A and B are shown apart, each in its own frame.
Chain A
């Protein structure tokens, strides 16, 4: 079974802090994704990556950046956290970029509160 592990289930930070959310997958997947989940809005894509050191903006990249130095690890960075970034953050991975129709596998999520 694919395992996507997010480093924290709950995180509390202060406004202006630089925040790192870490995600690791253990199945050699090419694609990795970061979403945020808010009530009434579903999941919205922040950034995704289809290879090491590659990244592409999703629908709501403002205020975020990402890093993928190794294939198995994809980090989401809040450069200067703000209260409107309080949310549930979900990481996902899928197998091959060139192979359509693949399900994404999700981690348990990180509930981030910015005070």
Chain B
């Protein structure tokens, strides 16, 4: 069975600090997809990034970066120079390579950036 674990329930940092959100996954599939979503206080989940299991390149988008390591089954998310607007709940999710691509979500990490 597929499983996603976000061990950090809550993180609180001061603005401009760097912060890393951890995500560890389990799957028997050889082809799968990983996602990160952001849920601001308004409630709507916002898609941030997807990564294919066969593409282990790390990705950077502005202050956001993602580190995918198949050897440790991890897909960690780092925010550099955090800002108050980054405060949200962040979810990591895993999708199989068949059917309607159901997502299995982690428990979420509530990130608070303090001014």
Q: Assess whether B52 is interfacial by the CB under 8 Å rule.
A: yes
Q: Assess whether A84 is interfacial by the CB under 8 Å rule.
A: no
Given contacts A42-B91, A107-B44, contact A50 B105 (CB under 8 A): no
Contacting residues of chain A (55-105) with chain B, CB-CB under 8 angstroms: 56, 58, 88, 90, 92, 94, 97, 100-105
Chain B residues contacting A43 (CB-CB under 8 Å) are 45, 91, 93, 103, 105
Partner of B105, one of A42, A88, A102: A42
Chain A residues contacting B100 (CB-CB under 8 Å) are 30-31, 33, 48, 50, 56, 94, 97
Given contacts A42-B106, A108-B42, contact A97 B99 (CB under 8 A): yes
Q: Assess whether B107 is interfacial by the CB under 8 Å rule.
A: yes
Contacting residues of chain B (59-114) with chain A, CB-CB under 8 angstroms: 91, 93, 95, 97-108
Chain A residues contacting B43 (CB-CB under 8 Å) are 9, 88, 108-109
Give the CA-CA distance A105 to B102 in the complex, in Å.
13
Q: Are B102 and A101 in contact (CB under 8 A)?
A: no
Give the CA-CA distance A8 to B106 in the complex, in Å.
26
B101 to chain A, nearest CB (A): 6
Which bucket holds chain A's interface residue count?
20 to 34
Partner of B45, one of A94, A102, A106: A106
Instruction: Determine which residue in B44, B97, B101, B108 has the highest number of CB atoms from chain A within 10 A of its CB, and name it.
Output: B101
Give the CA-CA distance A45 to B102 in the complex, in Å.
8
A residues with a Cβ closer than 8 A to B are 9, 30-31, 33, 35, 40-45, 48, 50, 56, 58, 88, 90, 92, 94, 97, 100-109
B residues with a Cβ closer than 8 A to A are 4, 6, 9, 31, 33, 35, 37, 42-47, 50, 52, 91, 93, 95, 97-108
A-B contacts, 26 of them at CB < 8 A, read A33-B102, A33-B103, A35-B105, A40-B9, A42-B107, A43-B91, A43-B103, A43-B105, A45-B104, A48-B100, A48-B102, A50-B100, A58-B102, A88-B43, A94-B101, A97-B101, A100-B31, A100-B95, A100-B98, A101-B33, A101-B50, A101-B95, A103-B35, A104-B47, A106-B45, A108-B42
